[in-house]
């Protein structure tokens, strides 16, 4: 459920790496404009990675809370299916949080 305007780890990694290459070419050729351009693209890529992590972590939190609510409601009402689905959603949210946790 990611739109084209949402931050992406993959896109951020591509821009970060491209920025490093452009900066390196600028250093080898003595072009300060290429060096600056490369630094800017690298920084933008790193910022996009962080934004994607933050968004993913928030989505994981939402799933964990929603899953916990469903699991408890299912347990209270005796609805095993709802309880199981809630537990699964809660675990998926935890996994998404773990994947997107800042290091």
Q: What is the pLDDT of residues 79-98, one digit of tens each?
A: 999 999 999 999 999 999 99
Query: Whole-prediction pTM value?
Result: 0.77
Backbone angles phi, psi at 75, to 5 degrees: -65, -40
Q: Is 61 exposed, middle or buried (0-12, 13-18, 19+ CB in 10 A)?
A: middle
Instruction: Provide the pLDDT for residue 20.
Output: 97
Residue among 47, 44, 38 nearest 19 (CA): 38
Give tens-digit pLDDT for 7-58.
999 999 999 999 999 999 999 999 999 999 999 999 999 999 999 999 999 9
Q: Which residue has the tokens 């080898």?
A: 28
């Amino acid at each position: 459920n990611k739109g084209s305007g949402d931050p992406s780890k993959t896109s951020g990694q591509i821009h970060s790496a491209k920025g490093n290459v452009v900066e390196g070419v600028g250093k080898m050729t003595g072009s300060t404009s290429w060096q600056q351009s490369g630094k800017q693209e690298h920084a933008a890529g790193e910022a996009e990675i962080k934004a994607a992590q933050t968004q993913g972590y928030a989505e994981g939190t939402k799933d964990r809370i929603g899953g916990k609510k469903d699991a408890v409601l299912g347990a209270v009402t005796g609805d095993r299916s709802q309880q199981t689905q809630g537990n699964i959603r809660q675990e998926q949210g935890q996994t998404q949080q773990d994947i997107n946790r800042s290091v």
